[in-house]
A and B are shown apart, each in its own frame.
Chain A
Amino acid sequence: MLYREAGDFKTSYRDDSQTFPLKLDRWGYYAALAVAFLVIPFVITDYWANSVLVPFLIYAIAALGLNILTGYAGQVSLGSGGFMAVGAYASYKLATAFPEISILIHVLLAGGITAVVGVLFGLPSLRIKGFYLAVATLAAQFFLVWLFNKVPWFYNYSASGQITVPERSFLGWIITGPQTSASAKYLVCLGFAVLLAWVARNLTRGTVGRTWMAIRDMDIAAEIIGVNPLTAKMTAFAVSSFFIGVAGALLFSVYLGAAEASETFGINKSFLVLFMVIIGGLGSIFGSFAGAAFLVLLPVFLKNVLVGSLGWPTDLAAHLELMIVGALIVFFLIVEPHGLAQLWRVTKEKLRLWPFPH
């Protein structure tokens, strides 16, 4: 009744292809942005920033990146953890080598470096497909983590083998290091997340997005109608790795402050990001956010209920969490391979017809 498209006419192709074709959606989106930028920074607490919002935003960026590669271009990768490590170590090396340049620039540059590394490990995708490729990306995962652990140059020969972020500020605000306020962390991550989501949306609605999806849906036919598989796959790997690299850089510099390759960026990180994409919805930008939110909130929720309210030991809660995540993955693949995003679309379809469904 309220949520409808009747009367919402489009008179140009530009209007027709905008991100939120329905007025109500558009307003909802602007309202959410306004709350995120103008309200939350003033009320955010350390607890909410550190256990919910900041990890949510960072993982949303990583999930966006993997979704571009897997959901849009159809190339499955299990190397996200390794690529996040590249972003983190690149931002660390840049920040310590060029302290006079803003760390925000370094984060973007770290994304660029990750893109190059991603293309390098993406090259085999020209010859191998499907889970052969998925397994091949494990090579990136294990090799990169090993590299950052074993070559002291990467962690500036620190005795602990860890990397620790130096304190940096932006416009007088401290944005990295232990002194950072909750709202500063949140705003930096929010800024990157919104910007990159917008870029992802632009890329996926235009020419590049169509070449990606063509390769995903039927690669041979795509090549016969004129898609160059090399550029299609390499742009997907580059853009995807850029996003994942930025996420890794933020995870290290803004969120954690310190990192160690095998601890922070192990194979489980790769699976975590992959699960976010599956649960959220393959080939959906909204889904990347939904999946990230879901898997960031789930452990917090379980911990509060099982440990906080029921008083169970934490290891028990952790085991149960593994089972729940695993079961959910299977459940989503069986019931709704397009994830939360599809559930949301279906709900909207129903809303559009409500209260007269016939």
Chain B
Amino acid sequence: MMPQTQQAATAAEPYITPDGRKIGGVLMDLRNITLRFGGVTAIKDISFNIREGEIRAIIGPNGAGKSSMMNVMSGFYIPQEGEVWFRGEKRPQMRPYKVARLGLARTFQNIALFDGMSVLDNIMTGRLTMMKSSLLEQALWWGRAEAEENRHREQVEKIIDFLEIQNIRKTPVGRLPYGLKKRVELARALAAEPKLLMLDEPMAGMNVEEKEDMSRFILDVNDEFGTTIALIEHDMGVVMDLSDRVVVMDYGRKIGDGTPDEVRNNQEVIDAYLGVAHD
């Protein structure tokens, strides 16, 4: 289907990180993305890629266009220019639910859980795309319906154990405190067994202890399941500790891209964060 040369151009050599994780070829490649809302340009000609197995961070000051970028990645916003390549193929324009079915799952900056449902049901929604039983089978609780329900319940219970939320399994999500909601949202995204997990400010509004917990979960997810993670974060310290590579955005442009150390020493990045006098 796709010309061989193109794949060679985008793929990079797999390598093993110092702590023993395997970083593979390019999983998602964003090429020259430009996104406009009316007259406002939220993202200007940005390209970067995400490699299999890595933790990739997108950072930048407020209003830099990070969340818009994630919305482009998850298919909620359709960029005016540019292409999104996923697993070596150009992703055609499609509705967000179809993008999800390609193997993308995400969390949201302002928690988007289903408040009227229990924690268990919320996490089960993460597996909706894998459910196969027909409406009639479900109506009569017959055939595949019950077996499927129990099979997926088992998988979901593993995630519940992993994230240590067993005791709130049957609690309606609306009643949970903020930090736990963030964790349930992560559980829902994990339940989808995504190829690429996108986290939009997973630690926003958390205290130090909760941040440590969340960082541990993110590292564990990456380590144990080998899930590729793209995350947006404000807290520079956390980002530098967690991620393999960092993209820095400012005013919709990309101003830096590389390992945490490279980014830390990039003059443009320092200016964006500390502010610099413009003449």
Contact A223 to B135, CB < 8 A, known contacts A214-B125, A216-B116, A218-B114: no
Complex-state Cα separation, A249 to B255, whole angstroms = 67
Q: Does A222 contact B (CB under 8 A)?
A: yes
Which residue in B75, B138, B188, B189 is a CB contact (below 8 Å) of A206?
A: B138
Interface stretch (choices B52-60, B100-108, B235-243): B100-108
Most buried by B among A14, A17, A210: A210
Contact A224 to B124, CB < 8 A, known contacts A13-B154, A203-B138: no
Contact A226 to B192, CB < 8 A, known contacts A199-B139, A199-B140: yes
Task: Give the residue name and chain of the B residue nearest to A216 (CB).
Answer: B116
Complex-state Cα separation, A71 to B188, whole angstroms = 23
Interchain CB contact under 8 A, B150 and A225: no
Q: Does A158 contact B (CB under 8 A)?
A: no
Complex-state Cα separation, A199 to B140, whole angstroms = 6
Interchain CB contact under 8 A, A220 and B128: no
Interchain CB contact under 8 A, A217 and B117: yes
Interchain CB contact under 8 A, A228 and B97: yes
Number of B residues whose C-beta is below 8 Å from A? 41
Interchain CB contact under 8 A, B115 and A217: yes
Q: Does B266 contact A (CB under 8 A)?
A: no
Interchain CB contact under 8 A, A226 and B100: yes
Task: Give the residue name and chain of the B residue nearest to A238 (CB).
Answer: B135
Interchain CB contact under 8 A, B133 and A207: yes
Complex-state Cα separation, A229 to B95, whole angstroms = 10
8 A Cβ contacts from A204-218 to B: 206-208, 210-211, 213-214, 216-218
Complex-state Cα separation, A199 to B138, whole angstroms = 8
Size class of the A contact interface (CB-based, 8 Å): 20 to 34
Complex-state Cα separation, A216 to B113, whole angstroms = 11
8 A Cβ contacts from B124-161 to A: 124-126, 128-129, 131, 133, 135, 138-141, 145-146, 148-150, 153-154, 157
Report chain A residues within 8 Å CB of B117: 210, 213-214, 217
Complex-state Cα separation, A292 to B198, whole angstroms = 46
Which residue in B105, B116, B138 is a CB contact (below 8 Å) of A225?
A: B105
8 A Cβ contacts from B147-198 to A: 148-150, 153-154, 157, 188-189, 192
Q: Does A221 contact B (CB under 8 A)?
A: yes
Task: Give the residue name and chain of the A residue nearest to B141 (CB).
Answer: A202
Report chain B residues within 8 Å CB of A318: none
Nearest first, the 10 closest Cβ-Cβ pairs linking A and B are A221-B112, A226-B100, A217-B114, A226-B129, A207-B131, A202-B141, A13-B153, A13-B150, A206-B138, A199-B139
